[in-house]
């Protein structure tokens, strides 16, 4: 594993790493004290509203070791393997025990299908242990009409939260929650600077822990830990090696990043939702509350799923340049296909800029199921 001694010995990192490895602990403790937990599937469920409603948001994640008892019956093979593992937990009672509510955002077409299937299971097989489930139906194409429609969508979600909790959410509560979220993003940006700077102090594997732990714990506590950690990490040893940008599938675990960094490179940035993209763009305090939420979630950098090829080419070029990356690793799980249509155009653009790149497509999940992957990665960085 590529996490260094300086990180492992740091008390703030150690705490975050503990949360990262024991992802359900904080939510269970919150529930034990009478709190309510909301599980999020997709990365376009606004924390600002969930926190304002007095709920603890946690991210749905896959358990690679879980047997797919229900999933293999219910989902077609076109669902990617990570989503399959997530789905099992949503229908086998795992999330019914952990969370009071489940919210799915339409961040990918696959997740839309997951929501439709969950909704139909709840309707036709009510004995299945699926938590009460809601859906957020964003429009991601960028024009005025869709921005306006998204305000309606967010008001529908707000009303759903109010219905679940039995209390109105005030504008003041949303603003207070937004401050908490913005402060969290600001803290994570400090870590981002330690990765993107000329002198890299935090590697990608460490960053995944720092960012990902925030999906499973109290946000203020996470902010506090990350701020303190950023101060300490500023004096961690400088990391040398090829600067790498990772794009494609999300990485819920450390395996691929560890393979890259064990090969002597360092992941300085990425554009997936378990990485840099999760803390992009603030809630704008000058806007009316619902409009500010729409602005934050609709206008982040283009995701690999909800964007056209030209938008993805431009986004990747800009992100790679900002991170001063020497190389790009494309990594997509099998059946996670949409990025495959971006790849040839993105590759062409990178090649023209002289930026080395390698593509791992149709990958098995979890990553260790791919024979020879670590060797292939090492070979690329030796080249």
Partner 1 sequence: MEEIKKEMPKASPSGAVKKLKATAEASAYQKEWFQGLKARVEAGEDFGYLNADVPMEVLKAMDIPFVVNQWWAAICGAKRMTKKYFGLLRDAGYRDDLCSYCATAFAESLDPDDHAYDAEGKPLGPWGGLPDPTIAITRLTCDCQSKIFELFAKNHGADFYAMENTVARTFPLNWWDYATDKWEELYDKDRLDAAVEELKELIRYLEMKTGKMFDINKLQVVMDNINRQETWYGKIRDLIADSHPAPVTVVDTINAVMPAQWQRGSEWAADHAERLYYEIKELADRGDVAVPNEKYRLMWLGRGLWHDFPFYQNFEKKYGAVFVWSMYLAMGADAYRRYNVEADPLRALAARYIGMEDFLHMPPWNAQWFLQQAKRNEIDGVVYMVPENCMQAVEGSYFIKKTLEDAGIPVLAFNADPVDPRKWNRDTMTGLVEDFIENRVMKKEK
345 within 8 A of 313, measured Cβ to Cβ: yes
* d(C-alpha 107, C-alpha 294), whole Å: 14
323 within 8 A of 240, measured Cβ to Cβ: no
Among 73, 238, 352, 354, binds partner 1 (CB under 8 A): 73
Candidates 35-43, 54-62, 145-153, 172-180: pick the segment binding partner 1 (CB under 8 A). 145-153
For the bound state, the minimum distance from the C-beta of residue 230 to partner 1, rounded and expressed in Å, comes to: 35
Closest CA to 291 of 281, 283, 282, 303: 283
Among 67, 341, 353, 375, binds partner 1 (CB under 8 A): 341
Q: Rule CB under 8 A: is residue 342 a binding residue for partner 1?
A: yes
Number of residues that bind partner 1 (CB under 8 A): 46
| 152-171 footprint of partner 1 as x/- string (CB under 8 A) | x---x---------------
Tell me which residues in 179-218 interact with partner 1 (CB under 8 A).
none
Give DSSP secondary structure letters for 273-341. Answer: TTTGGGG-S---TTS-HHHHHHHHHHSSSPPSSSS-HHHHHHHHHHHHHHTT-SEEEEEEETT--HHHH
Tell me which residues in 105-144 interact with partner 1 (CB under 8 A).
106, 108-110, 112-113, 115-117, 120, 123-124, 135, 137, 139-141, 143
328 within 8 A of 244, measured Cβ to Cβ: yes
For the bound state, the minimum distance from the C-beta of residue 220 to partner 1, rounded and expressed in Å, comes to: 34
For the bound state, the minimum distance from the C-beta of residue 365 to partner 1, rounded and expressed in Å, comes to: 17
Q: Rule CB under 8 A: is residue 149 a binding residue for partner 1?
A: yes
For the bound state, the minimum distance from the C-beta of residue 46 to partner 1, rounded and expressed in Å, comes to: 18
Among 165, 227, 340, 368, binds partner 1 (CB under 8 A): 340
Query: Residues 242-280, buried b or exposed e (16+ Cβ, 10 A)?
Result: bbbbbbbbbbbbbbbbbbbbebebbbbbbbbbbbbbbbb
Helices (DSSP H) in the chain: which residue ranges? 5-8, 11-21, 25-32, 47-52, 71-74, 81-91, 94-98, 109-124, 144-165, 171-196, 204-213, 219-233, 255-262, 289-298, 309-322, 338-353, 373-382
Closest CA to 125 of 85, 70, 80, 82: 70
Angle at 89 between CA 88 and CA 91, to 5 degrees: 70
Candidates 16-24, 75-83, 209-217, 250-258: pick the segment binding partner 1 (CB under 8 A). 75-83
Candidates 19-27, 54-62, 146-154, 273-281: pick the segment binding partner 1 (CB under 8 A). 146-154
Candidates 7-15, 291-299, 303-311, 366-374: pick the segment binding partner 1 (CB under 8 A). 303-311
For the bound state, the minimum distance from the C-beta of residue 29 to partner 1, rounded and expressed in Å, comes to: 34
297 within 8 A of 253, measured Cβ to Cβ: no
Q: Which helix (H) or strand (E) holds 39?
A: strand 37-41
Nearer to partner 1 among residue 163 and residue 176 (C-beta): 163
For the bound state, the minimum distance from the C-beta of residue 271 to partner 1, rounded and expressed in Å, comes to: 15
Among 6, 35, 337, 356, binds partner 1 (CB under 8 A): 337
Among 347, 350, 355, 373, binds partner 1 (CB under 8 A): 347
Structure tokens at 231: 């101060």
For the bound state, the minimum distance from the C-beta of residue 36 to partner 1, rounded and expressed in Å, comes to: 23
Nearer to partner 1 among residue 1 and residue 156 (C-beta): 156
Q: Rule CB under 8 A: is residue 277 a binding residue for partner 1?
A: no
Nearer to partner 1 among residue 101 and residue 140 (C-beta): 140
| Three-state secondary-structure class, residue 360 | strand
Q: Rule CB under 8 A: is residue 74 a binding residue for partner 1?
A: yes
Candidates 21-29, 68-76, 175-183, 195-203: pick the segment binding partner 1 (CB under 8 A). 68-76
Query: Residues 146-158, buried b or exposed e (16+ Cβ, 10 A)?
Result: ebeebeebbeebb
Contacting residues toward partner 1, per CB under 8 A: 73-79, 106, 108-110, 112-113, 115-117, 120, 123-124, 135, 137, 139-141, 143, 145-146, 149, 152, 156, 305-306, 308-310, 337-338, 340-345, 347-348, 361
């Amino acid at each position: 594993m590529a996490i260094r001694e300086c990180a492992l010995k740091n008390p703030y990192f150690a705490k975050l790493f503990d949360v990262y490895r024991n992802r359900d602990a904080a939510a269970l403790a919150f529930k034990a004290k009478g709190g309510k937990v909301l599980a999020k599937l997709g990365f376009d469920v606004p924390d600002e509203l969930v926190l304002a409603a007095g709920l603890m948001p946690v991210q749905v994640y896959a358990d690679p070791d879980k047997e797919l008892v229900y999933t293999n019956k219910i989902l077609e093979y076109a669902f990617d393997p990570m989503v399959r593992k997530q789905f099992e937990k949503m229908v086998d009672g795992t999330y019914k025990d952990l969370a009071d509510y489940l919210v799915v955002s339409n961040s990918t077409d696959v997740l839309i299908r997951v929501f439709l299937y969950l909704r139909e299971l709840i309707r036709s097989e009510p004995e299945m242990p699926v938590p009460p489930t809601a859906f957020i139906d964003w429009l991601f194409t960028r024009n005025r009409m869709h921005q306006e429609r998204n305000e309606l969508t967010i008001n529908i979600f707000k009303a759903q939260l109010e219905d679940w909790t039995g209390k109105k959410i005030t504008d003041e509560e949303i603003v207070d929650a937004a401050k908490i979220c913005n402060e969290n993003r600001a803290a994570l940006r400090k870590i981002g600077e330690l990765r993107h700077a000329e002198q890299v102090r935090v590697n990608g594997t460490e960053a995944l822990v720092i960012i990902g732990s925030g999906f499973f714990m109290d946000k203020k506590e996470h902010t506090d830990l990350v701020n303190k950690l950023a101060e300490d990490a500023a004096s961690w040893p400088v990391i040398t090696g090829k600067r790498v940008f990772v794009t494609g599938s999300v990485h819920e675990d450390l395996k691929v990043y560890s393979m890259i960094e064990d090969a002597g490179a360092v992941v300085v940035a990425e554009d997936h939702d378990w990485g840099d993209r999760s803390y992009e763009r603030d809630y704008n305090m000058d806007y009316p509350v619902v409009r500010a939420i729409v602005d934050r979630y609709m206008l982040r950098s283009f995701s690999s799923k909800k964007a056209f090829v030209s938008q993805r080419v431009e986004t990747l070029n800009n992100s790679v340049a900002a991170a001063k990356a020497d190389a790009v690793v494309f990594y997509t799980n099998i059946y996670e296909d949409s990025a495959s249509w971006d790849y040839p155009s993105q590759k062409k653009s990178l090649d023209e800029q002289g930026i080395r790149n390698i593509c791992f497509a149709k990958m098995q999940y979890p990553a260790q199921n791919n024979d020879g992957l670590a060797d292939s990665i090492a070979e690329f960085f030796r080249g």
